[in-house]
Structure 1
Amino acid sequence: MLQALGLGPAEESIYTALLARPTASAEELAGQSGLGRAETDRVLRELVTRGLVAVAAESGSGAPDQAERASGHRTARYRLTPPSVALAPFLVEQRNALHRAEAAFSMLTEQYRSTAAHPAGSVVEVVVGVEQVAHRFHQLQRGAQEELLVFLVGDPIAVPREDTGMSESSALDRGVDFRVVAARSYLDGPDMAKEVREGITAGLELRLVDSLPLKMVVSDRERAMVPLDMADCDGEPSAIVVHRSGLLTALVHLFEKEWAQARPLYTTATGVHAEPPTEQHPTEGELEVLALLLAGISDRRAASQLGVSIRTVERRTRRLMDLAGADSRLQLGWHAARAGWL
């Protein structure tokens, strides 16, 4: 836990051992932490130098023990410096380091866009080979901050279905708006009903069409990945990564067109359906959001109280409004009261 604040494993062991007592000797700390005496002494010296631990008075009002009487001097005892005082500078430094990293990331991103995004050769990047295609696919999913748009069609080639679950879960946990249009044939695979149910429950929005022209994933409308015909690269799986350009805009437009015409999928106790059941009810997570919104709590505060991202709150609110057929949150509140949702 404390390694994030700059403490090594041995230092953290001694520090946490001191948390349980007002003061302690090096010998007591060595016994409690499991470190050798020499290692404990070294760590204590380092912690004292860094201001995390202070040396208590070596002579005290209590009677010396047998070892102290034999040696003729009192054993040094150590105590923690208050964490709010000692660890605050480390926390500030970690925050500053993160801000510097974010600034560097933004600078490099903008520099890339200004210098490399304009030449025609950099608009489309060709990726060849199973490992490279899979690596770039996971990069797109894990790097998304706001939105993922996906076309699912045909059998997976470079990225098996079971390998996409972790990236999808990570995106949903971050509150990424995750929309998928799937060709009907894609759902014919084994255990697909279970996977679809789990995805929709986690917040993925899935719609169904009879067919799609291509596979595709679009990340934050900044870049997209489209597989190529295997015959183009000597039988090896290959794909193109499309960066911001007119071509990317066309791919996003294609997705939105298919999305608007596709049929939403719903999950019920009896399975997955391409038409809404006769009566739908909000999920438990959606009802939690609804209760906070009706209490006048902002989306940001609701996200903080529920321990989810603000985009998750927005996504659940949007689905509540879809279920209620409401155009505003005021209408949503009226429908929720009439339907007995709360």
Structure 2
Amino acid sequence: MLQALGLGPAEEAVYTALLVRPSASARDLALQSGLGEADCDRILLDLAARGLVVAVTREAVTAAPDPAGGKDVLPPSRYRLTPPSVALAPLLAEQRNALHLAETAFSKLTEQYRTTAARTAGGVVEVVVGVEQVAHRFLQLQRGAQRELLVFLVGAPTAVPRADTDTSESSALERGVDFRVVADKDYLAGHEIVQDVREAVAAGLALRLADSLPLKMVVSDRERAMVPLDMTESGGEPSAIVVHPSGLLTALVHLFEREWAQGRPMFTTGAGASEEPAGDQPTAEELEVLALLLTGFSDRRAASELGLSIRTVERRVRHLMDLAGVDSRLQLGWHASRVGWL
């Protein structure tokens, strides 16, 4: 919590331990924080030098009598916090100023790069070659997005390590990024992928499915796009192009919006979905089956993708038809669209 203000983990532990006490010695804080007494004493001296705590001097503390009858023994120095509103405010202002300077430098460098790149014919498109370089740039675009991510998923999952992809997706969703994905139906190949996609949708990702897509793509904040190049037939290394602001980037965004408008929502519980069967409302699991079937999946493939038996899929479809009061799957699809199940 306080590391952004320049305090390390051990310093924060001592500071927060002292926060709940009127005053304390290094020995007291060592017992409370789990650090060594010598470490606490060193940290307290450093915090005092920075004005975050105040040392209560030995002369200011009433001396304790020596049990042996000798001279009085001075107790160890104790410390108390300087009011955080006074001590931490300058640190906060310093960090804000540093961030402002960094943002200003970032804007200048970005603009300078765009100006320089615009002078050359190849400035609109940057070529990235090699597995590591492509993966690094993909994650760079995804993690750098502040407002919006638009993604096409085609065929088999990307070569970017799954753990890195999951982390960057979670980070984008936690930042409040509008994360929209259109996937072709071949992308959902296997129960593991379906489960990953389902969890991402539950976390806030918006997903629609298309019968086919012309290319893989990620667009970050409508300022940069990345499109992998298929080099497998020629035996070359995996490569991709990064598209900077231009008419080409605008065209890619328009392509995404068109496919998004025509795509079918996936793994959405809809306004009428419930976790348990209740009255005339479908369950989330039943709507998952319906979404796959409306995409064109057979009962067998839907069962495989969801890790279910065919009988379970058929039973859920039959229950949905009963809820809708229809006799055919075509009527079921029309009813689901009309009442907002999907």
Q: TM-score, normalised by structure 1?
A: 0.71
2:101 aligns with 100
User: Does residue 212 of structure 1 match 2:228?
Assistant: no
Distance 1:46 1:28 in 2: 17
> Does the 8 A contact of 2:156 with 2:186 survive in 1?
no
Partner amino acid, structure 2, of 1:185: D
* Residue 251 to residue 31, structure 1, CA distance change in 2 (3 Å): closer
Distance 1:61 1:161 in 2: 60
* TM-aligned CA deviation for residue 12 of structure 1: 3.4
Partner amino acid, structure 1, of 2:107: S
1:87 aligns with 88
1:139 aligns with 140
Distance 1:68 1:112 in 2: 77
2:129 aligns with 128
> Does the 8 A contact of 1:25 with 1:77 survive in 2?
yes
- How many residues are paired up? 283
Partner amino acid, structure 2, of 1:101: A
1:7 aligns with 7
* TM-aligned CA deviation for residue 138 of structure 1: 0.8
Q: Aligned with 1:175: secondary structure?
A: coil
1:115 aligns with 116
Q: Aligned with 1:48: secondary structure?
A: helix
* Residue 46 to residue 172, structure 1, CA distance change in 2 (3 Å): closer
1:311 aligns with none
Partner amino acid, structure 2, of 1:259: W
Distance 1:177 1:27 in 2: 50
* Residue 47 to residue 265, structure 1, CA distance change in 2 (3 Å): closer
> Does the 8 A contact of 1:128 with 1:233 survive in 2?
no
User: Does residue 269 of structure 1 match 2:285?
Assistant: yes
* Residue 208 to residue 46, structure 1, CA distance change in 2 (3 Å): closer
Greater shift, 270-279 or 169-178, is seen at: 270-279
Q: Structure 1, residues 23-47: CA drift from partner, whole Å, max 9, x if none?
A: 334554555553344x554433333
User: Structure 2 matches for 1:111-260, cutoff 5 A?
Assistant: 111-160=112-161, 163-231=164-232, 234-260=235-261
Q: Structure 1, residues 232-268: CA drift from partner, whole Å, max 9, x if none?
A: 7743211111111122122122222222222233443
Distance 1:79 1:68 in 2: 30
Q: TM-score, normalised by structure 2?
A: 0.71
1:19 aligns with 19
Q: Aligned with 2:191: secondary structure?
A: coil
Distance 2:82 2:203 in 1: 44
Q: Structure 1, residues 123-161: CA drift from partner, whole Å, max 9, x if none?
A: 111111111111111111111112211111112352255
Partner amino acid, structure 1, of 2:47: L
Distance 2:45 2:91 in 1: 18
Distance 1:254 1:55 in 2: 65
> Does the 8 A contact of 1:55 with 1:78 survive in 2?
yes
**Structure 2 residues not aligned, in runs of 5+:** 269-283, 296-319, 325-336
Report the aligned-residue RMSD.
3.3
Q: Aligned with 1:256: secondary structure?
A: helix
1:335 aligns with none
Q: Aligned with 1:127: secondary structure?
A: strand
2:272 aligns with none
> Does the 8 A contact of 2:127 with 2:240 survive in 1?
yes
Distance 1:240 1:226 in 2: 5
**Structure 1 residues not aligned, in runs of 5+:** 281-321, 326-342
* TM-aligned CA deviation for residue 67 of structure 1: 7.4
User: Structure 2 matches for 1:289-328, cutoff 5 A?
Assistant: none
Partner amino acid, structure 1, of 2:116: T
Distance 1:117 1:147 in 2: 24
* Residue 85 to residue 251, structure 1, CA distance change in 2 (3 Å): same
> Does the 8 A contact of 1:131 with 1:158 survive in 2?
no
Report percent identity of matched pairs. 66
Distance 2:250 2:217 in 1: 13
Partner amino acid, structure 2, of 1:269: E
